Copies of this chain bind each other. A is one copy, B any other.
Amino acid sequence: MTTITGEMLIGYRSRRGTGPSLVAFNPTTGVEISEPSFGSGTTDDVNEACALANDAFDRYRALSLDTRAMFLERIADGLLGVGDALIQRAHEESGLPKARLEDERGRTIGQLKLFAQVVRSGQWLDATLDSPLPDRKPLPRSDLRMQKIPLGPVAVFGASNFPLAFSVAGGDTASALAAGCPVVVKAHQAHLGTSELVGRVIQKVAREMELPEGVFSLVLGAGNSVGQSLVSHPAIKAVGFTGSQAGGTALMRVAAARLEPIPVYAEMSSINPVFLLPSALAQRNESIARGFVDSLVLGAGQFCTNPGLVIAVAGEDLTRFIDAAKEAITAKPAQTMLTAGIHNAYQEGEKRLADTVGVQLEARGVTPTGATQAQAALFVTSAETLLTNHALEDEVFGPLSTVVSCKEEAQMLEVASHLAGQLTATLQYDAEDCMLARQLVSQLERKVGRILVNGFPTGVEVSHAMVHGGPFPATSDSRTTSVGTAAIDRFLRPVCYQDFPAELLPAAIADGNPLDIWRSIDGELTRY
């Protein structure tokens, strides 16, 4: 189980791709992990994986909810079964500390098990029944019943920054499998070995449970062509992606250009503004500054929810906040980034900001000692500069943030209304700030997926009420979330069954409620 071969997993087979070889890379040492190399796939491999997924779909979605839930639970158990080999490999490939990866494995397992509960609850089926009205005038009403069914095979592109929780067996895969969709994953090049280890767990569980072959495949690709073939394939009915705005919008274009356009759920780009309200800033400015810097440098700043913008009214309190943040940041050690490419982009982004008129560098973290280490950075600018220079809102992925000083409270509102879509916004708030906070919340609701009060945006709970989403460019589809149980809704669509005889009705909407789920009958939620 812990041997890494460099093969792809197509249904129940393992096969070395005949495309260009890929090698894993250790960002901490800067050295290739030369054995094994990974054989990238071709369009033929994609076609085969997609054809298997298509064949598997009807049988997979027809399994009992309990079987589907057990599949997720056994994947979770299997991940734990790989033991330290998984953590070790993920650490080598990502540079992320082992303790963090152990937490991430816990989150991944918890996520799979939570989706198993969701599957069993059957609430996602949205079972809805309208009673027939045979005597209605002028026309009788038919017997109408609705349930949600899965969309079909889903393509998943893992995230660089979560090699476990948002990769091969991560949130997109878990929610798609929970919905009843077969999954074809394209492994992220930054953690090829980790991907294989996790993929083999899923493949093994599927085979042991005798699930239809093709419910899961893992393909490898050098460059973009394998990913584009995957998104273009007629059998694929939705796409889950976490990554850059350039990557996400490229997939959106491919999906929109298909003969049958399909939904793309791309989680892309966010700078997660933090608003320091006047009373909170006056009362707690140093403690907020320390909390902010801790959030900023967590995981080398490589979180989608990293606080990249801080907005407050200029004055003595903001000066004290900046001084405290400078002091905190100056002491923060440099940290290894996930890949050399991400590190280069970070350095370029930092340089671009430093070279921008009206933007001042305030502080840097400890000088790096490794080639791919990120040095934290804090910049300051004015609201006028931000409002006239859209480039300042571009995400710089890494431990970098810009403090925006406003002339007055009204300008904080102006900044809020000016921002593009974000995953999160945060208010540092005291009760005296209530009036301003209400106005800000009203603005921010239109811009973000999650609003926090007196917290920091890093740390995304996997739960029922979580929204990890938001208007473009934070994501490609603000109507959904990629974290939390509501993520299952992304892969479902409603079907109505009119005047079906009992012998043809799906169990979810059959008489007598055989699945024992919540159903809406004539507009009222019931358990009958």
Residues of A within 8 A of B (CB): 57-58, 62, 103, 117, 121, 123, 128-130, 138-139, 141-142, 144-146, 149, 151-152, 252-253, 256, 260-261, 263, 420-421, 429, 431, 434, 437-438, 441-442, 445-446, 448-455, 459, 461, 463-467, 469, 471-473, 476-481, 485-486, 492-501, 503-504, 518, 520, 522-523, 525
Instruction: Indicate which residue in B263, B472, B485, B495 contacts A449 across the interface (CB closer than 8 Å).
Output: B495
Known A141-B463, A431-B501: A449·B496 in contact at CB below 8 Å: yes
The docked-state distance in angstroms from the alpha carbon of A442 to that of B206 is 22
Contacting residues, chain B, for A493 (C-beta < 8 A): 449, 469, 471, 478-480
Known A451-B495, A494-B486: A504·B441 in contact at CB below 8 Å: yes
State the Cβ distance, A246 to closest chain B Cβ, in Å. 15
State the Cβ distance, A110 to closest chain B Cβ, in Å. 12
Known A496-B451, A523-B121: A465·B501 in contact at CB below 8 Å: no
Contacting residues, chain B, for A522 (C-beta < 8 A): 464
State the Cβ distance, A415 to closest chain B Cβ, in Å. 17
State the Cβ distance, A489 to closest chain B Cβ, in Å. 8
Contacting residues, chain B, for A472 (C-beta < 8 A): 260-261
State the Cβ distance, A60 to closest chain B Cβ, in Å. 12
Instruction: Indicate which residue in B57, B429, B500, B525 contacts A453 across the interface (CB closer than 8 Å).
Output: B500
Instruction: Indicate which residue in B452, B469, B504 contacts A494 across the interface (CB closer than 8 Å).
Output: B469
5 contacts between A and B (CB under 8 A): A144-B461, A261-B472, A434-B503, A451-B498, A453-B498
Known A459-B139, A523-B464: A495·B146 in contact at CB below 8 Å: no
Contacting residues, chain B, for A450 (C-beta < 8 A): 495-498
Contacting residues, chain B, for A121 (C-beta < 8 A): 523
Contacting residues, chain B, for A492 (C-beta < 8 A): 479
The docked-state distance in angstroms from the alpha carbon of A57 to that of B445 is 12
Instruction: Indicate which residue in B57, B144, B471 contacts A260 across the interface (CB closer than 8 Å).
Output: B471
Can you name the residue of chain B whose Cβ is closest to the Cβ of A503? B434
Contact status B429-A501, CB under 8 Å = yes
State the Cβ distance, A432 to closest chain B Cβ, in Å. 11
The docked-state distance in angstroms from the alpha carbon of A463 to that of B420 is 37
Contacting residues, chain B, for A471 (C-beta < 8 A): 260, 493
Can you name the residue of chain B whose Cβ is closest to the Cβ of A448? B495
Contact status A446-B496, CB under 8 Å = no
Contacting residues, chain B, for A429 (C-beta < 8 A): 501, 504
State the Cβ distance, A64 to closest chain B Cβ, in Å. 16
The docked-state distance in angstroms from the alpha carbon of A93 to that of B376 is 67
Can you name the residue of chain B whose Cβ is closest to the Cβ of A264? B261
